Amino acid sequence: MSRLGKVMNLPAEIIQTLDQEFPHQSGAHAHWSNQVNRGFMEQNLNGRWDTFSKFIDQHTLSYLSLSADLLQSKANTSLLNENTLQDTRDKIDGVLKDVLESDFPDEIKNYLVRGLQRIIAAIDEYRISGAAPILDAMEVTLGHAFFDAEYRHALTNTDIGRTIVDVLASVASSITIAVGLPQLPETFQLLLGSH
C-alpha cells in the first residue's frame, strides 16, 4: 500500500517539477494529470486494474510522454540498469547481515539496521521514486555520525564500520555516475576524510 501511495503521488511531484522547470507550459499536464488522478480516484483497490486503464487514452499517453521528454531535457540523468540495482542491493544486504551479527552496542546497531533497511527499500522502489531517495537514505545513515560521537567512532574505528562507509561510498559513486548527479555527497566526503 505504501508503494501504491508513492505511485499515486507521482503526478503531483511531476506537476510540481514541470511548473518549476517550465513555468510557461503549465497547461501541458492538464489532460494527463486529470485522467490519471481520475483513474486513481475511481479505482477500487480490490477490483481489476483494467478499470484504471480505461482512463488512460492515447491523448493521455501522448501528453505524459511530452511531459517526460520535457523533464528529461532538463535532467542530466539516465536510468540505472537492473544489474547495477541488484549489485547495489546485494552489497547493502551483505553489510546489513554483518551489522546484525556484529557486537555493536544496541543503539548503534539499531540505527544502522534502520538506515540500511531504508536504503534497501529505496533501491526496491527505484522504479517508482528514482535514485535520489537511495542517496538520501545513505546520507542520513552516515550523516548521523556528525551528531553522535559513539556512532562516528563505530563507523571510523572498527573494521565493520569502515566496511560500511566504504560500501556506501562505492554505491554512492556508482549511482551518482550512472544518473549524472554530482560526485560523492558531501556527507561521504567529510566522513571518509575522518578515517
Number of H helices, E strands in the chain: 11, 0
Rounded Cα–Cα distance for residues 36 and 53 (Å)? 9
Domain count, the chain: 2
Looking at the fold, whether 100 and 174 belong to one and the same domain comes out as yes
Looking at the fold, whether 26 and 54 belong to one and the same domain comes out as yes
Considering the entire predicted model, what is its pTM? Answer: 0.74
Looking at the fold, whether 86 and 156 belong to one and the same domain comes out as yes
Torsion angles phi and psi, residue 113, rounded to 5: -60, -45
Q: State which residues form the domain around 101.
A: 82-193
pLDDT tens-digit profile of 90-141? 999 999 999 999 999 999 999 999 999 999 999 999 888 888 888 889 888 9
- Report yes or no: 68 and 25 within 8 Å, Cβ to Cβ: no
pLDDT tens-digit profile of 127-181? 888 888 888 898 889 888 888 889 989 998 999 999 998 898 888 887 776 666 5
Looking at the fold, whether 61 and 108 belong to one and the same domain comes out as no
Question: Of all helices (H) and strands (E), which one includes residue 139?
Answer: helix 132-143
Looking at the fold, whether 62 and 135 belong to one and the same domain comes out as no
- Cα first-last separation, the chain: 41
Looking at the fold, whether 59 and 150 belong to one and the same domain comes out as no
